[in-house]
Structure 1
Amino acid sequence: MERKVDINRIKVVLVEQKKTNKWLAEQLGKDPATVSKWCTNTAQPGLDTLLQIAKALDVDVKDLINSSKEEAKYVRIS
């Protein structure tokens, strides 16, 4: 059984702000499928893109990343 760590918190922040993946994709000029992969942690945005996401959501970039010092949260991959 493989496990993967949820690296980013993009989906959590979107939910907190009552915004959608589609909205974020429009703000960044990205394909909604790409944003969906970031939100499910199946892919990760580059650092430059992460900074753009933070700006679009008006949050500190640290709010978009799970701390490496906290106990990692694992998700089962089928």
Structure 2
Amino acid sequence: MEERTNKLKVVLVERNKTSKWLAETLKMNPATISRWCSNKTQPSLDTLSDIANVLDVDIRDLLVPTKKVKTEEK
């Protein structure tokens, strides 16, 4: 089984933020953030929206696409 890149972890690195910072900002247990970053569990959509807001990213930046987007032929 292919291991997927964790987009939350990538965005945290790109923003020079830590999972500890995210836990403190969201007032959550750091172990919860750790489980999200290791793909053991995933946040709810509401929480994902909160994460996107505090990281100032589009929520789609935190998701792994499930389908390839077809490009239009001209």
Provide TM-score, normalisation by structure 1. Answer: 0.79
Q: Please identify the structure whose Cα radius of gyration is greater.
A: 2
> Higher strand fraction: Structure 1 or Structure 2?
1
2:14: which partner in 1? Answer: 16
What RMSD, in angstroms, separates the aligned Cα atoms of the two structures? Answer: 1.6
Structure 2 unpaired stretches of 5+? 69-74
Aligned-partner SS, 2:53 = helix
1:50: which partner in 2? Answer: 48
Q: Is 1:29 aligned to residue 27 of structure 2?
A: yes
Post-superposition Cα deviations, 1:10-63, rounded to whole Å, max 9, x if no partner, equal 000001111000000011110000000001111000000000000010000000
Provide TM-score, normalisation by structure 2. Answer: 0.83
Q: Which runs of 4+ in 1 moved over 2 A?
A: 3-8
Identity of aligned residues (%): 54
Q: Which has the higher contact order (CA 8 A, sep 6+)?
A: 1
